[in-house]
Chains A and B, each alone.
Chain A
Amino acid sequence: MMDEEAARRLVYGAIDIVNRQLPAAKRLQKAPETIIVGEGGALDSLGVVNFVIAVEEEFADATGAAVQLLAENMLGDGSPFRTVGSLARYIAARPA
Chain B
Amino acid sequence: MATAPDRLYFVADFNIEPLARELANTTRPGLETAIAPPGPVMAALAAGPPAADWSAVVWTRPEAISEAFARARAFERIDHDQAIDDVKAYAAAIGRFAARARSVFVPAWVQPPFARGWGMLDHRPGIGATDLLARMNVALADALVGAPSVFVLDAGRWLASAGVRGWSQKLWHAAKCPFGPAVIELAAADIAAALDGVGGRARRLVILDLDDVLWGGLVGEVGWSGLTLGGHDHVGEAFADFQRALKALTARGVQLAIVSKNDEAAALEAIDRHPEMLLRRGDFAAWRINWDDKAQNVANVLAEVNLGAESAVFIDDSEAERARVRDAVPGILVPDWPSDPARFREALESLRCFDAPVQTAEDRARAGMIADERSRRTALAAADNLDDWLRSLEIAITVEALAPANLDRAAQLFNKTNQMNASTRRLSAGELAAWAAAPAHCLLTFRVRDRFGDYGLTGIVGLELAGSRARLSDFLLSCRVMGRHVEDAMLHVAAAHARARQVSTLVVEVVPTARNKPCLDFFLGSGLRETRHHVFEWDLSQPYARPDFVAVADHARVAASSDP
Contact of B165 among A20, A21, A57, A70 (CB under 8 A): A57
Name 9 A/B residue pairs within 8 A (Cβ), A-sorted: A17-B181, A20-B26, A20-B185, A21-B184, A23-B25, A49-B171, A50-B171, A53-B171, A70-B170
Q: What 0/1 readout, one digit per residue, does chain B (255-272) give for beta carbons within 8 Å of chain A?
A: 000000000000000000
Shortest distance from the beta carbon of A29 to any chain B beta carbon, whole Å:
16
Check: A22 CB closer than 8 A to any chain B CB: yes
Bound together, the chains give a CA A5 to CA B165 distance in angstroms of 25
Considering the complex, which residues of chain A in the window 15-52 have a beta carbon less than 8 Å from any beta carbon of chain B?
17, 20-24, 46, 49-50
> Which residues of chain A come closer than 8 Å to B181, judged between CB atoms?
17, 20, 50, 54
Pick the residue among B25, B170, B171, B185 that contacts A22 (CB under 8 A): B25
Contact with A along B162-178 (1 / 0, CB 8 A): 00010010110011000
Cβ B175 vs Cβ A21 within 8 A: no
Are A53 and B185 CB-contacts (below 8 A) given A20-B22, A46-B17? Answer: no
- B15 on interface, CB distance cutoff 8 Å: yes
Contact with A along B146-183 (1 / 0, CB 8 A): 00000000000000000001001011001100000100
**B residues with CB within 8 A of A:** 15, 17-18, 21-22, 24-26, 29, 165, 168, 170-171, 174-175, 181, 184-185
Q: How far is the CA of A50 from the CA of B29 in the complex (A)?
A: 20
Known contacts A17-B181, A20-B185; can you find 11 more A-B pairs with CB under 8 A? A20-B25, A22-B25, A23-B25, A46-B17, A46-B175, A49-B171, A53-B170, A53-B171, A53-B174, A54-B181, A56-B170
Q: Which A residues lie within 8 Å of B174 (CB)? A: 49, 53, 70
Tell me which residues across on chain B come within 8 A of A54, comparing CB atoms.
181
**Cα of A57 to Cα of B165 in the assembled complex, Å:** 8
User: Known contacts being A50-B181, A54-B181, A57-B165, is A21 close to B171, with CB within 8 Å?
Assistant: no
Contacts of B171 in A (CB 8 A): 49-50, 53
B interface, by DSSP: helix, strand, loop or mixed?
Answer: helix
Instruction: Give the 10 A-B CB pairs with smallest separation, nearest first.
Output: A21-B21, A20-B26, A49-B175, A49-B174, A17-B181, A23-B25, A21-B22, A20-B22, A46-B175, A53-B170
| In the bound complex, CA of A86 to CA of B100 (Å) | 51
Contact A24 B18 (CB under 8 A): no
B15-A24 in contact (CB<8A): no
Residue of A nearest to B170 (CB): A53
Which residues does chain B contribute within 8 Å of A70, judged by CB atoms? 170, 174
Give the residues in chain B near A46, CB-CB below 8 Å: 15, 17-18, 175
Query: B29 and A24: CB pair below 8 A?
Result: yes
Least distance between B125 CB and chain A CB atoms (Å):
37
Chain B residue contacts of A17, Cβ below 8 A: 181
Q: Which residue of A lies closest to B181 (CB)?
A: A17
Chain A residues near B25: list those with CB within 8 A: 20-24
Q: Please, which residue of chain B has its CB at the minimum distance from the CB of A47?
A: B21
Nearest opposing residue in chain A for B164, CB measure: A57
The interface centre, meaning the residue of B15, B24, B25, B184 with most chain A CB atoms within 10 A of its CB, is: B25
CA distance A66 to B18 in the complex (A): 24
- Please indicate the chain B residues that have their CB under 8 angstroms from the CB of A23 in the complex: 24-25
A-side contacts of B26, CB under 8 Å: 20-21
**Bound-complex Cα distance A70 to B168 (A):** 14
C-alpha spacing A54/B182, complex, angstroms: 11
Residues of A within 8 A of B168 (CB): 53
> Contact flags (1/0) for A47-69 with B, using CB distance below 8 Å?
00110011011000000000000
User: B residues within 8 A CB of A57?
Assistant: 165
- A residues near B170, Cβ cutoff 8 Å: 53, 56, 70
Smallest beta-carbon distance B272→chain A, Å: 48
**Shortest Cβ gap from A42 to chain B (Å):** 12
A14–B297 CA distance with the chains assembled, in angstroms:
43
Q: In the complex, A57 Cα to B167 Cα: how many Å?
A: 12
- The docked-state distance in angstroms from the alpha carbon of A21 to that of B26 is 7
Question: How many angstroms from the CA of A22 to the CA of B23 in the assembled complex?
Answer: 10
Docked complex Cα distance between A53 and B177 (Å): 12
Residue numbers in A under 8 Å from B15 (CB-CB): 46
Contact A21 B29 (CB under 8 A): no
In whole angstroms, what is the CA distance A90 to B170 when docked?
A: 22
Quick one: closest B residue to A61, CB to CB? B165
B175 and A50 within 8 A (CB): yes
Q: How many angstroms between the C-alpha atoms of A53 and B169 in the bound complex?
A: 11
Bound-state CA distance A70–B171 (Å) is 10
For B22, what are the chain A residues with a Cβ–Cβ distance below 8 Å?
20-21
A53 to B24, CA, bound (A): 22
Q: How far is the CA of A24 from the CA of B30 in the complex (A)?
A: 11
What separation, in Å, do the CA atoms of A53 and B167 have in the docked complex? Answer: 12
Residue of B nearest to A52 (CB): B174
**Which residues on A sit within 8 Å (CB–CB) of B184?**
21
Min CB gap B483→A, angstroms: 44
Query: What is the minimal beta-carbon distance from A15 to any residue of chain B, in angstroms?
Result: 12
Residues of B within 8 A of A50 (CB): 18, 171, 175, 181
Q: In the complex the two chains form, what is the Cα distance from A57 to B184 in whole Å?
A: 16
